[in-house]
Structure 1
Amino acid sequence: MSVETKILIGKDKVEAFSNARKEPEWLRDLRLKGLELTATAELPKPEKTKITNWNFTKSTFDLGVKDVVESVDQLPEGVQALIDQETKEQNLIVQQDTTAVYRNVTAELAEKGVIFTDLATAATDHGDKLKPYLFGEAVKPEENLLFAQHASLVNGGVFIYVPKNVQVEIPLQTIFSFETAEASYNNHVVVVAEENSSVTYVENYTTQTDSEIVVNIIAEVYAKQGAKVAFGAVDTLSSNATTYVVRRAHVEKDARIDWALGQMNDGNTISENTTHLVGDGSWADTKTVSIGRGKQKQNFTTQIFHHGKHSEGHILKHGVMREAATAIFNGITKIEHGATKSNGVQTERILMLSEKARGDANPILLIDEDDVTAGHAASVGQVDPLQMYYLMSRGISRKEAERLVIHGFLAPVVEQLPIESVKARLREAIEGKVK
């Protein structure tokens, strides 16, 4: 039996929401286009995971405006734990529900012409720069039902714009805290790095409610010629959050993107990470770690499409499944015709720590060009009993031995992450899930 996923909100509410935020006409039209598409669009079809009985619909999306706070001390403790309060110079935006309640940005950003602001402000103050990229080349509302819903109900997110030849030295961090029960969160992040620029962006997703919510996340990254983008994320949404998260990038000539993704949600999750290497000499490196527990179901699809010559694409994913958790790891490397001298490599590994845990790793190579190199590796298995016996014979309890095995299994990925703050936060998240 399938669950009703069609949108429950009418045109009048969408228009009223847009008008209350004083959005430009082009954004209101985008919302209405998305609303219209929900009548005919279909759910996405992630490989080997059936989601027709997942509930992706909540009627509450207008969550009002929260009060702006002046200091970190006024934020919830769970949010404060994600902030490095010892660092004086930082670029940080905190969003509670759908309101950017805290902002601490260095003066240097504005002097360099960098835009780092919440999506609502970007729509009204920087619409000329946001419009070409919000649902731009990377994501189209007509692609599936959840994209269409997202386009009509987008109610949070950030916009980052780095001008040509600008190097952003201090990382940009956003914390998204979801706190209202039975709500629909439609968060959209847009990162634009112009020619020969560089930026590091880190986002954290957390929940401060144990009630059911729906989280629909989209991130679009555009790395122009010679640009370098490091994108880190640590997702720690609760077991009552049904999550659909899509992060995509278009990478031009000699540009590079490094993805560092910690997928630590406790609820059912569909995650897609796609990179198009559209320029010659473009580069993508994707590293993902995940821990599943309880009865949660997760599907992680990572795709790199090589269009440019001499393009490099690397995928590395490690996951640990505990109790009765299930995970599907899909990896796709596609080398298009004409992408000569390209190189695509991927590795997926899943460790199962109980008889009821399930894991499935599916590496796929699609090669339409002769003069290329490509390879893949995959493994799914349980802990070596001898390894556990050795640890326990040294006086270590089974629980502690399991903890050490998990950290050891994920360490090869965690240690390679290019963003130190993501690495530290991820270690904390891993420890929280193995206790």
Structure 2
Amino acid sequence: MTTEIILPVGREAVESASKSKNEPQWLTELRLSALDKAGQLELPKLEKTRLDRWKMDGYGEYKPAAAISQVNELPEEFNQMLQTNQEGHNLIVQRNSAVVLSHLASELQEQGVIFMSLEEAAKQHSDLVQKHLFTAVKSDEHKLSALHAAIWNGGVFLYVPKNVQIDIPLQAMFVHDEEQAAFSPHILIVADENSSVKYVDVVTSTETTSAQVHSGIAEVIVKPGAKVTFASIHHLSKEITDLSFRRAIVEKDGQVEWIVGEMNYGNAVSDTTSILKGSGSASDAKVICVGTNDQKLNVTTKAVHFGKSSNSDMITRAAMRDEATAIFNGITKIEKGATHANGEQTERVLMLSPKARGDANPMLLIDEDDVKAGHAASAGQVNKEQIYYLMSRGISREQATKLIIYGFLEPIVAEIPIKELEELLSNIVERKLGQ
């Protein structure tokens, strides 16, 4: 018996959108092939999460957006989030289905750095994009990746040439503020040998009246000796389901650092994975999450060790309130031959109300003997002794509880590489916990 699969987007719409943007033939063919596969593939199987029960058919339609010349042309609520970059330097802004602002400082351009819309890069730097696109997250991994490959729009392409060191973070902002507009950005970062870069983005939206999907994939290619810091804050409204998959392939002596703030109000899947391919490669992942109302969350942090003497460290901290439920998976996989690998992980969850739930699932999957690996996990309520201690110093119970929670989350918040965005994340945490 076969089941007819009805996809949220048709072949004609995908082909028409691709041609309207004058995309190269190889990209149009990739999109159509992925759409065909989406009808045959299954949803990803997530720990203790039934995605088939979620509302995930509201992918919307491709809607072009008018370009802007400066940040302050955005609505005020979004403009404030980019107060660190009012001049628009080293910044990409995507509004709904299209990039509306793209700027890279001339000194970086002169060094060969490329920072632009992925759609535009596919035309201007076709060989470079085609070589790396969908190499970290395969377009046929599962139904969600195939759908994304068919419909992604806007996006970011960042290429850092060999030996180029960029000290100032490059920023991107993804904004959704139009009902039924497709919102599926794809991020592709390629750091060539011995280069380094910091990339920071914010994914945000206004309130919507209908259920919609944000489908996002980020691929980070770290060449030998390179280092990439990837920081991201997701702050989408209640009616938007966030499906985000981030993955890095790290070659010999390369490093990737993830800093992720999951601050959505709707259901979300977050998967942040490092493939430590080369000897001496390293990954450091820090994830912070606050769940409120009746959110359903599945947050996975994963490191797969192939290289000898590779290192991974993963820290997840979460606070759950109201009736929010979440699964936090930490997975360290050490493959046969990855001798002297070292993988550490920690998941800690605070439950702030009787009906909230957060399950911490640490997993060590080890196929090699000569390695080090460890994990720690905890889930519980705010420590009463700490509250009583602070109250004995004249602090109210409510304020004492907030101080403990903020102190619990602060080690990750403080890792954001831009001071103003660190403050933005702190403000979002405060709003979510104080509502």
TM-score bin (small chain): over 0.9
- How much has 1:168 moved relative to structure 2? 1.5
Instruction: Give the residue type in structure 2 aligned to 1:118.
Output: S
The question of 1:51 aligning with 2:51 is answered: yes
CA contact (8 A) 2:350 2:380 kept: yes
Q: Which residue of 1 aligns with 2:116?
A: 117
Instruction: Give the residue type in structure 2 aligned to 1:17.
Output: A
| CA distance in structure 2 between the partners assigned to 1:291 and 1:18 by the alignment | 37
| CA distance in structure 1 between the partners assigned to 2:139 and 2:223 by the alignment | 23
Deviations 1:131-153 (A, max 9, x none): 111111x1112111111111111
Helix, strand or coil at the partner of 2:185: strand
1:154-193 to 2 correspondences below 5 Å: 154-193=152-191
| CA distance in structure 2 between the partners assigned to 1:239 and 1:23 by the alignment | 33
The question of 1:17 aligning with 2:34 is answered: no
Q: Which moved more, 1:208-217 or 1:39-48?
A: 208-217
Instruction: Give the residue type in structure 2 aligned to 1:191.
Output: I
- How much has 1:218 moved relative to structure 2? 0.2
Q: Which moved more, 1:240-249 or 1:382-391?
A: 382-391
Instruction: Give the residue type in structure 2 aligned to 1:185.
Output: F
Q: Which moved more, 1:78-87 or 1:321-330?
A: 78-87
- How much has 1:320 moved relative to structure 2? 0.2
Deviations 1:85-135 (A, max 9, x none): 477683111111122222332111210111100111111111111111111
Deviations 1:6-61 (A, max 9, x none): 41322211111110000000100111011101221111111111121112112522
CA contact (8 A) 1:158 1:188 kept: yes
In structure 2, do the counterparts of structure 1 residues 244 and 5 end up closer, same or farther at CA, with 3 Å as the change threshold?
farther
Deviations 1:62-89 (A, max 9, x none): 11x2222222221111221221347768
1:298-337 to 2 correspondences below 5 Å: 298-337=297-336
Q: Which residue of 1 aligns with 2:103?
A: 104
Helix, strand or coil at the partner of 1:46: coil
| CA distance in structure 2 between the partners assigned to 1:289 and 1:408 by the alignment | 12
Aligned-residue CA RMSD (Å): 1.8
- How much has 1:171 moved relative to structure 2? 1.1
Instruction: State the TM-score, normalized to the length of structure 1.
Output: 0.95
| CA distance in structure 2 between the partners assigned to 1:213 and 1:8 by the alignment | 11
Instruction: Give the residue type in structure 1 aligned to 2:61.
Output: F
Q: Which residue of 2 aligns with 1:424?
A: 423
CA contact (8 A) 2:169 2:417 kept: no
The question of 1:208 aligning with 2:206 is answered: yes
CA contact (8 A) 1:287 1:417 kept: no
Q: Which moved more, 1:373-382 or 1:67-76?
A: 67-76
CA contact (8 A) 1:157 1:189 kept: yes
CA contact (8 A) 2:165 2:195 kept: yes
CA contact (8 A) 1:142 1:148 kept: yes
CA contact (8 A) 2:323 2:355 kept: yes
Q: Which residue of 2 aligns with 1:265?
A: 264
| CA distance in structure 2 between the partners assigned to 1:5 and 1:45 by the alignment | 18
For structure 2, the 5+ residue unaligned runs are: none
- How much has 1:393 moved relative to structure 2? 5.4
1:365-404 to 2 correspondences below 5 Å: 365-392=364-391, 396-404=395-403
Instruction: State the TM-score, normalized to the length of structure 2.
Output: 0.95
| CA distance in structure 2 between the partners assigned to 1:244 and 1:110 by the alignment | 33
Q: Which residue of 1 aligns with 2:240?
A: 241
| CA distance in structure 1 between the partners assigned to 2:154 and 2:415 by the alignment | 31
1:352-363 to 2 correspondences below 5 Å: 352-363=351-362
- How much has 1:419 moved relative to structure 2? 5.5
- How much has 1:386 moved relative to structure 2? 3.3
Q: Which residue of 1 aligns with 2:251?
A: 252
Helix, strand or coil at the partner of 2:36: helix
Q: Identity of paired residues, percent?
A: 47
In structure 2, do the counterparts of structure 1 residues 86 and 52 end up closer, same or farther at CA, with 3 Å as the change threshold?
closer
| CA distance in structure 2 between the partners assigned to 1:149 and 1:117 by the alignment | 23
CA contact (8 A) 1:90 1:171 kept: no
CA contact (8 A) 1:323 1:357 kept: yes
CA contact (8 A) 2:70 2:88 kept: no
| CA distance in structure 2 between the partners assigned to 1:310 and 1:232 by the alignment | 25
Q: Which residue of 1 aligns with 2:230?
A: 231
Helix, strand or coil at the partner of 2:403: helix
CA contact (8 A) 1:353 1:382 kept: yes
CA contact (8 A) 1:61 1:153 kept: no
Q: Which residue of 1 aligns with 2:295?
A: 296
| CA distance in structure 1 between the partners assigned to 2:18 and 2:8 by the alignment | 17
CA contact (8 A) 1:225 1:254 kept: yes
CA contact (8 A) 1:114 1:163 kept: yes
| CA distance in structure 1 between the partners assigned to 2:405 and 2:5 by the alignment | 36
| CA distance in structure 1 between the partners assigned to 2:227 and 2:98 by the alignment | 29
CA contact (8 A) 1:230 1:419 kept: no
| CA distance in structure 2 between the partners assigned to 1:185 and 1:5 by the alignment | 22
Helix, strand or coil at the partner of 2:312: strand
CA contact (8 A) 2:169 2:418 kept: no
Aligned residue-pair number: 430
Helix, strand or coil at the partner of 1:426: helix
Q: Which residue of 2 aligns with 1:407?
A: 406
1:58-77 to 2 correspondences below 5 Å: 58=58, 60-63=60-63, 65-77=64-76
Deviations 1:202-242 (A, max 9, x none): 01000023333211110000000000100000111111111
The question of 1:37 aligning with 2:41 is answered: no
| CA distance in structure 1 between the partners assigned to 2:143 and 2:30 by the alignment | 15
Instruction: Give the residue type in structure 2 aligned to 1:77.
Output: E
Deviations 1:366-403 (A, max 9, x none): 11111111110000001123333444555544443332
Deviations 1:301-320 (A, max 9, x none): 11101100110100001000
CA contact (8 A) 1:95 1:176 kept: yes
